[in-house]
């Protein structure tokens, strides 16, 4: 069996292995990484050989690290060991993929959804519906682009409403406040001022990855899509994407017990900064902390960097995604919209949910 893992921003790690009698045999690690000294590769192969085939990613990585430390301490290889472009965790992920516990992008066909404008609360409810449906086996992995016609603020599942949102600004600008099921920060989203998508994937796609690693892994295609529209971007912190001109986007996640992962991103296109600061309190605090009065130094819209219409950017993103992964056109089924609207009534438009952390 063979498993591969491309480290985001790093190198490819491949593992060929047999599972005989519940243990790993004939293990061979390879790839385009850099490793010194040469003998360290044999140490890694020997360390993996004989492990139970159900060993966790963390324990596989620990086994590799400990074997390398012991080899240096015992003098069987000359140290120190240099692993460039990969690490023991990457080896462990490749092993888990070889054994079938983890999947790759190529193992899935993604349904692409562009259903047109929906109410903000419905957009949030669909995140829950489509993620639960994947966990229930009712729908495959999906990429859904958002459209809406209202001003809205989406706050993270664990944020304090009064600390994040100014009710005076909300009333003044007719803003709908929605609490989403994922964590992360607040998003001010006027119609046409953001590019937002939700990606729903099986947990097997991020098996063995920490939360921090999974953000870069699931957003790697976004960097390629941004490059296609002329924006050189990079990961910033755990869940943000930035360019030399400033922050572009932020991601958030929610993982369900049934084995599904919701990952979504919002990218600034043409933010009304003054309006945003009247609605979001946290925005003022962040700007004050940085000694600046203008949000222009924090939010650098895609419009100014690309010169493209928002629809053209979304088209380019979809095209890039399809160029990398198997994808088919899809749509929302009537029962999915009905389920979402039920959730709007019982949860997402309900003050008990919106104000659950006052």
Tell me what the mean pLDDT of segment 30-50 comes to. 97
User: Taking Cα atoms as reference points, which of 59, 11, 52 lies closest to residue 33?
Assistant: 11
Query: Residue 9: which H helix or E strand, with range?
Result: none
Find out whether 295 and 174 touch, Cβ atoms under 8 Å.
Answer: no
Domain layout of the chain by residue ranges: 2-98, 105-354
Find out whether 24 and 18 touch, Cβ atoms under 8 Å.
Answer: yes
Q: What is the dihedral of CA 70, 73, 76, 77, to 10 degrees?
A: 100
pLDDT digits (tens, 9 = 90+) for 66-84: 999 999 999 999 879 999 9
Which CATH superfamily hosts domain 105-354? Bira Bifunctional Protein; Domain 2 (3.30.930.10)
pLDDT digits (tens, 9 = 90+) for 214-225: 999 999 999 999
At 271 the pLDDT is: 85
**What's the mean per-residue pLDDT of the chain?**
93
**Is the model's pTM score more than 0.75?**
yes
At 258 the pLDDT is: 86
Tell me what the mean pLDDT of segment 129-155 comes to. 96
Q: Which residue has the higher pLDDT, 38 or 211?
A: 38
Please classify residue 358 by burial: count the beta carbons closer than 10 Å to its beta carbon, then call 0-12 exposed, 13-18 middle and 19+ buried.
exposed
Beta-strand (E) ranges in 237-318?
Answer: 240-243, 246-256, 260-268
Residues paired with 66 in a beta bridge:
none
Q: Answer whether 2-98 and 105-354 agree in fold.
A: no
Q: Given pLDDT bands bounded at 50, 70 and 90, which one contains residue 23? A: very high
Is CATH 3.30.390.50 the right assignment for the domain spanning 2-98? yes
pLDDT digits (tens, 9 = 90+) for 272-313: 888 999 999 975 555 544 334 444 444 557 998 999 999 999
> Which residues lie below 8 Å from residue 299, measured CB to CB, with a gap of 6+?
246, 247, 268, 271, 273, 276
At 135 the pLDDT is: 95
CA distance 317 to 337: 25
CA distance 114 to 52: 44
């Amino acid at each position: 069996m063979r498993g591969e893992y491309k480290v985001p921003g790093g190198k490819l790690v491949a593992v060929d292995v047999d599972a005989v009698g519940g243990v790993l045999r004939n293990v061979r690690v390879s790839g385009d990484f850099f490793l010194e000294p040469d003998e360290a590769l044999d140490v890694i192969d020997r360390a993996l050989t004989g492990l139970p085939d159900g060993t966790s990613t963390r324990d596989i990585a620990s086994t590799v690290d400990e074997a390398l430390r012991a080899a240096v301490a015992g003098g069987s290889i000359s140290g120190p060991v240099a692993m460039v472009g990969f690490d023991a965790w990457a080896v462990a992920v490749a092993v888990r993929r070889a054994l079938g516990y983890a999947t790759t992008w190529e193992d899935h066909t993604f349904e692409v959804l562009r259903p047109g404008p929906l109410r903000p609360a419905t957009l949030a409810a669909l995140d829950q519906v489509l993620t639960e449906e994947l966990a229930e086996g009712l729908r495959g992995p999906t990429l859904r682009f958002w459209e809406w016609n209202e001003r809205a603020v989406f706050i993270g599942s664990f944020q304090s409403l009064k600390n994040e949102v100014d009710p005076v600004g909300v009333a003044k600008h007719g803003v709908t406040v929605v609490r989403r099921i994922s964590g992360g920060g607040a998003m001010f989203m006027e119609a046409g001022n953001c590019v937002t998508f939700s990606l729903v994937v099986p947990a097997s796609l991020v098996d063995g990855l920490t939360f921090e690693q999974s953000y870069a892994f699931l957003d790697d295609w976004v960097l390629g899509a941004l490059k296609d529209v002329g924006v050189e971007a990079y990961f910033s912190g755990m869940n943000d994407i930035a360019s030399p001109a400033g922050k572009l986007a932020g991601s958030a996640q929610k993982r369900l017990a049934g084995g599904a992962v919701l990952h979504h991103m919002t990218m600034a296109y043409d933010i009304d900064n003054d309006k945003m600061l009247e609605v979001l309190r946290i925005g003022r605090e962040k700007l004050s902390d940085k000694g600046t009065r203008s949000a222009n130094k924090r939010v650098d819209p895609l419009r100014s960097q690309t010169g493209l219409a928002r629809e053209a950017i979304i088209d380019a993103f979809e095209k890039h995604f399809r160029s990398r992964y198997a994808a088919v056109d899809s749509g929302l089924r009537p029962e999915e919209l009905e389920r979402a609207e039920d959730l709007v009534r019982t949860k997402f438009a309900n003050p008990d949910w919106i104000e659950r952390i006052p």
